[in-house]
Amino acid sequence: MVKRAVLVLSLVFLIGWPVLGATYTVPAGTVLNCRLSQTLSTGVNFRGQSFVATLAEPVVVNGNRIVPAGATVRGRIASLSRPGHIKGVGKILLVPETLALPNGRTFTLSGVLLHAYGAPGAKVANPEGIVKGPTARMRDLKEVGIGVGGGGALGAIIGGFHGAFIGGVIGGAAGLLDGFRRRGPDLTLPSGTELKFQLNRQLVVTRSGVAEYDLSSR
| 166 and 147 in a common domain | yes
**Residue 190 domain-assigned?**
yes
DSSP letters of 27-56? PTTPEEEEEESS-EETTT--TT-EEEEEES
Does residue 72 register a pLDDT over 80?
Answer: yes
Does residue 126 register a pLDDT over 70?
Answer: yes
Mark out the alpha helices in the chain (DSSP H runs): 2-21, 137-181, 207-216
Pairwise CA distance, residues 194 & 77, whole Å:
16
Q: Domain of 191: which CATH number?
A: 2.40.128.260
Q: What is the pLDDT of residue 8?
A: 39
Pairwise CA distance, residues 169 & 162, whole Å:
11
Domain that holds residue 117: 24-135+185-216
pLDDT averaged over the chain?
Answer: 75
**Residue 17 domain-assigned?**
no
Question: Which amino acid type is present at position 127?
Answer: P
Q: Quote the distance between the C-alpha of residue 212 and its chain's center.
A: 29
Provide the number of structural domains found in the chain: 2
| 197 and 142 in a common domain | no
Task: Indicate the DSSP class of residue 151.
Answer: H
pLDDT tens for each residue of 130-157: 999 997 554 444 443 443 444 434 444 5
Q: What is the pLDDT of residue 154?
A: 45
| 207 and 127 in a common domain | yes
**Residue 14 domain-assigned?**
no
